[in-house]
Amino acid sequence: MSSTPTPRTTNGGISFWYADHGIPTPREPLPGDTTADVCIVGGGYTGLWTAYYLKKAVPFLNITVLEAKFCGYGASGRNGGWLYNGIAGRDRYAKLHGQEAATRLQDAMNDTVAEVVTTAATEGIDADIHQGGVLEVAYTPAQFSRLKAFHATEVAFGEKDRILLGARDTAARIKVAGAVGSTWTPHGARLHPAKLAKGLADTVEALGVTIHESTPVTAIEPKHARTPYGTVRAPYILRCTEGFTPNLKGQKRSWLPMNSSMIVTDPIPPHLWETIGWDGRENLGDMAHAYMYAQRTADDRIALGGRGVPYRFGSKTDNDGRTQPATIAALRDILVRFFPTLAGTGIAHAWSGVLGVPRDWCSTVTLDRSTGLGWAGGYVGSGVATTNLAARTLRDLFLQDSGQGGTTDLTTLPWVNHKVRKWEPEPFRWLGVQGMYAAYREADRRELTGRTAETNPIARIADRIAGR
Ligand SMILES: Cc1cc2nc3c(=O)[nH]c(=O)nc-3n(C[C@H](O)[C@H](O)[C@H](O)COP(=O)(O)OP(=O)(O)OC[C@H]3O[C@@H](n4cnc5c(N)ncnc54)[C@H](O)[C@@H]3O)c2cc1C
């Protein structure tokens, strides 16, 4: 099956979420040299949630957020809107620190989904949040084996409310063609990413946080954030730049900017929804190696994402979300394979963004006590909720370091102050990532046509290349 995007598909323009909600008018750039108690670099969810929790904890704190474009310009305004309890690196943290420590991290993530939902409601942020949980489906024998193993692992990490569903119960929720089973967890909600980003920026500004937009930070040094408009001097500088981090001086080979791309359909009429179901508006995913993720939007479209072309040579990022036509066609093929009745449905918009991938695929939160430099990220594809836990953790680390708080449940989580080695130089970085995703796609293709319940060995080789 192969298809091309319709000529009227909008490509880029940051994301559909901004076409829907409007691109905000940027706030004023930094007017010149200034000082702050805390300077936050990057106005995505990590930076904004951090500003939020710091200001709530210490209302007189002088906080400045510096954002290169506008708040929500990055992944936070482009994602799939899957608020869920997954966290990159948990299984490795279990190996490094033990099952109990990793289970505490997982418990904290389960609570984080509820924290985001509650805080958005408390602050009056209407982000189309609907708590329908997460449904992950299998449609090959190998995927079904992985699904059962995944379900067992999650239960072992304390998720007692996760359930395993057979083909019929899966179809009763969402009729995915060929689905043989699924797993569902209540720890997930669908949201409108740009509405959350804009709501958060407005909320922290109303609390008294200073936000300067159109202000790219060119260098981060202890107690200094330098920009073309002036320097912010602050005892604490917190880097919240995720997939854009390699653009900063000295960070070229830290987190790798991995592309994730999305399409959104035209609104789907009721007679077609009858062929699909999806009344519970669960976040929908699958067990493929190059996995997909999707949501039913508040205005009854399907927004669906996947990897597409995974990485641009030299850690380059996209131009305002523009993605490759081949990626749009590949995502549309997945949509129609899942829901054949949508073969004639138009694709309204396509876009991409970058997520930050550390060499060991483990997300981290760090505050270096000797320099006052902090950072959080490397969330891979799971940042919508994780950014909130990271922000509360940064808050606690700040309070501890500045003598206003002590050790907390968050400061002792296993992802705190985790160190990771750098990525390889080019061309090895590019070759490795391209090779890894080519292998995952080939493994998926073979599993789709094969009858064995074993994961295709090519995927295991790809896992090894990835260093997962
Ligand atoms: C297409 C896509 C789909 C995704 N889907 C999901 C999903 O459904 N669920 C999920 O959990 N996760 C998802 N993710 C990941 C999730 O969106 C991110 O992990 C999360 O938004 C990261 O937030 P952040 O604030 O750390 O980074 P970002 O949102 O990328 O924010 C970083 C900000 O820093 C700014 N910046 C960068 N460099 C500088 C500089 N030098 N000076 C000043 N400012 C700078 C950028 O302009 C940007 O606004 C997805 C990501 C993408 C790209």
What residue spans define the domains of the chain?
A: 17-130+191-255+358-423, 134-185+256-357
How much is the pLDDT for 323? Answer: 93
Name the residue with the closest Cα to ligand 1, atom 2: 79
Q: What residues have CB less than 8 Å from 177, skipping those under 6 apart?
A: 139, 337, 338, 339, 340
Per-residue model confidence as pLDDT tens digits over 383-408? 999 999 999 999 999 999 999 999 99
User: Ligand 1 mean position to 261 CA, how many Å?
Assistant: 13
Residues with Cβ within 8 Å of 248's Cβ and at least 6 positions away in sequence, in order, are 217, 218, 219, 220, 239, 241
In CATH, the number for domain 17-130+191-255+358-423 is 3.50.50.60
What's the per-residue H, E or C state across the chain?
CCCCCCCCCEECCCCHHHHHHCCCCCCCCCCCCEECCEEEECCCHHHHHHHHHHHHHCCCCCEEEECCCCCCCCHHHCCCCEEECCCCCHHHHHHHHCHHHHHHHHHHHHHHHHHHHHHHHHCCCCCCCECCCEEEEECCHHHHHHHHHHHHHHHHCCCCCCEEEEHHHHHHHECCCCCCEEEEECCEEECCHHHHHHHHHHHHHHHCCEEECCCCCCEEECCEEEECCEEEECCEEEECCHHHHHHCCCCCCCCEEEEEEEEEECCCCHHHHHHHECCCCCEEEECCCCCCEEEECCCCCEEEEECCCCCEHHHECCCCCCCCHHHHHHHHHHHHHHCHHHCCCCEEEEEEEEEEECCCCCCEEEECCCCCEEEEECCCCCCCCHHHHHHHHHHHHHHHHCCCCCCCCCCCCCCECCCCCCCCCCCHHHHHHHHHHHHHHHHHHHHHHCCCCCCCHHHHHHHHHHCC
Whether the predicted pLDDT of 464 surpasses 80: no
Mean pLDDT of 182-198: 98
Q: How far apart are CA 46 and CA 388, in angstroms?
A: 7
Q: Flag the least confident range among 155-159, 410-414, 445-449, 462-466.
A: 462-466
Mutate to test the pocket of ligand 1, among 355, 363, 387 (most ligand atoms within 8 A of CB): 355
The reported pLDDT for the residue numbered 221 is 97
What's the CA-to-centroid distance between 43 and ligand 1, angstroms? Answer: 9
Q: Among 384, 387, 389, say which to mutate for ligand 1: greatest number of ligand atoms within 8 Å of CB.
A: 384
pLDDT average, residue stretch 5-11: 78
At residue 17, the pLDDT reads: 98
Domain 134-185+256-357: top CATH class: alpha beta
Task: Name the residue at shortest CA distance from atom 36 of ligand 1.
Answer: 42
Kindly report the average pLDDT of the chain as a whole number.
94
**At residue 3, does pLDDT exceed 50?**
no
pLDDT in tens, 351-395: 999 999 999 999 999 999 999 999 999 999 999 999 999 999 999
pLDDT value of residue 428: 84
**pLDDT at residue 359, as a whole number:** 93
Rounded (10°) CA dihedral 393, 383, 101, 394:
-10
| pLDDT over 50 at 38, yes or no | yes
Q: Are 285 and 135 in contact (CB under 8 A)?
A: yes
pLDDT for 468 beyond 80: no
pLDDT surpassing 50 at residue 2: no
Nearest-atom index, ligand 1, CA of 353: 53
**Which residues line the pocket of ligand 1, CB cutoff 6 A?**
41-47, 66-69, 73-76, 78-82, 216-217, 240-244, 247-248, 260, 262, 293, 305, 352-355, 377, 379, 381-385, 387
244 and 42 Cβ atoms separated by less than 8 Å: yes
Tell me the pLDDT band of 310, cut-offs 50, 70 and 90.
confident
Q: pLDDT at position 7, please? A: 65
How far apart are alpha carbons 168 and 285 in whole angstroms? 17
Q: Token pair 């995502």 is at which residue?
A: 331
Predicted confidence (pLDDT) per residue in 79-101, tens digit: 999 999 999 999 999 999 999 99
Burial class from Cβ neighbours inside 10 Å (0-12, 13-18, 19+) for residue 315 reads buried
Average pLDDT over residues 219-226: 97
pLDDT > 90: what percent of the chain?
84
Q: How far apart are CA 353 and CA 194, in angstroms?
A: 13
Q: Whose CA is nearest to atom 3 of ligand 1?
A: 79
Report which of 67, 69, 65, 34 is spatially closest to residue 50, judged by C-alpha positions.
Answer: 65
What pLDDT shows up at residue 4?
Answer: 46
- pLDDT by residue (tens digit) across 224-272? 999 999 999 999 999 999 999 999 989 989 999 999 999 999 999 999 9
**Distance between CA 136 and CA 150 in Å, rounded?**
10
> In angstroms, what is the span from residue 354 Cα to ligand 1's centroid?
7
The tens digit of pLDDT for each residue in 313-347 reads 888 888 899 999 999 999 999 999 999 999 999 99
**Ligand 1 pocket: which of 39, 65, 79 to mutate (most atoms within 8 A of CB):** 79
Determine phi and psi for 45, rounding to 5 degrees: -60, -40
d(CA 137, ligand 1 centre) in Å: 26
Mutation choice for ligand 1 from 17, 196, 244, 380, CB with most ligand atoms inside 8 A: 244
Rounded mean pLDDT, 46-60: 98
Q: Output the pLDDT for position 6.
A: 60
pLDDT of amino acid 313? 84
Q: How far apart are CA 193 and CA 196, in angstroms?
A: 5
Question: Is 60 exceeded by the pLDDT of residue 1?
Answer: no
Whether 158 has a pLDDT exceeding 60, the answer reads yes
